Structure 1
């Protein structure tokens, strides 16, 4: 059974690819957004210990899975159990274009309008990817990719093979 980790900038296509792989290969899917944040506004991260408990529960429940997100600190908790990592290393402009075309994500937002109200903030967040040095940054993702020792793939566009 496959165990795949997908990561990259916001808007890089992680959720889309994860859903496709999960469906095609009959894998459980975990979007780390669902275990990384407190359900409050403005958003605030959960303690890593709290997120890791949810992740461990998921891992114990499923023998085959795809886990996706932009949280290098949470991804480090699962990469040692993964068979494969996929780094969606798209340009910032491609991620912004994807974010503008993003369909409603009901597991994250109460409505498409609520999601769209966040678009300006999301675009600003995406644009900082290459200059940040936090757990969400390109630098953190490159380190995660470099240190993974099994099968790893990097895509520079949403068209696989490029």
Structure 2
């Protein structure tokens, strides 16, 4: 049974790869859907509440893929996973992918609203190597190095 975590910078192709795996029969959980409270400005959901939702997903599915850039949440999923994929693409390629991203209706009410957030997203992507939080290169590298199962590091777009 495949139980996969996928992580990396915004725009690295996590969702694209997860949707491909979903097409192969794996249940899919995008951590963006539970990492944030429905507030303005956005505020992170307490980790214990997010983990309850993650555990319910894991218990309800035999084979799954959990993806996101939240190393703190993925550390909680790691003991249940048997495969880790680190989407370690260059920042410039992640930014190009973000510019070409199709509308994500589960995140934005319209393509126009999504595109309006693009400048902020490109800046966020650019800071990946310098940040020192749960959504940083450093946190993803530590998560990847500490994973005990099958590990794959991808440095280019998935075909």
TM bucket, shorter chain = over 0.9
State the distance in 2 between where 1:159 and 1:23 align.
Answer: 15
Structure 2 unmatched ranges of 5 or more: none
Tell me the C-alpha RMSD between the 2 structures. 0.9
Q: Distance in 2 between matches of 1:98 and 1:138?
A: 18
Determine the structure 2 residue equivalent to 1:46.
Answer: 45
Instruction: State the match for 1:10 in structure 2.
Output: 10
Give 1:42 deviation, angstroms: 1.7
Specify the SS of the correspondent of 1:136. Answer: coil
Q: 1:6-155 counterparts in 2 under 5 A? A: 6-24=6-24, 26-155=25-154
Distance in 1, Cα, partners of 2:95 & 2:112: 18
Mapped to 2, the partners of 1:76 and 1:50 lie a distance apart of: 15
- Output the TM-score relative to the length of structure 1: 0.96
Q: Per-residue deviation at 1:55? A: 0.5
Asked if 1 retains the 8 angstrom alpha-carbon contact of 2:2 and 2:63, the reply is yes
In structure 1, distance between residues paired with 2:43 and 2:115: 20
What CA deviation, in whole Å up to 9, does each residue of 1:92-141 have, x standing for no partner? 10000000000011111111111111111111110000000100000000
Unaligned runs of 5+ in 1: none
User: CA offsets, 1:61-95, max 9 Å, x none?
Assistant: 11110000000000001111111000000011000
Q: How high is the TM-score relative to the length of structure 2?
A: 0.98
- Superposed CA deviations along residues 18-48 of structure 1, whole A, max 9, x for unmatched, are 0001112x01000000010011222111110
Give the Cα separation in 1 of the matches to 2:74 and 2:144: 11
Task: Determine the C-alpha separation between the residues in 2 that align with 1:75 and 1:22.
Answer: 18
The number of equivalent residue pairs is 159
Describe the SS at the equivalent of 1:78: helix
Separation (CA, whole Å) in 2 of partners of 1:35 and 1:114:
20
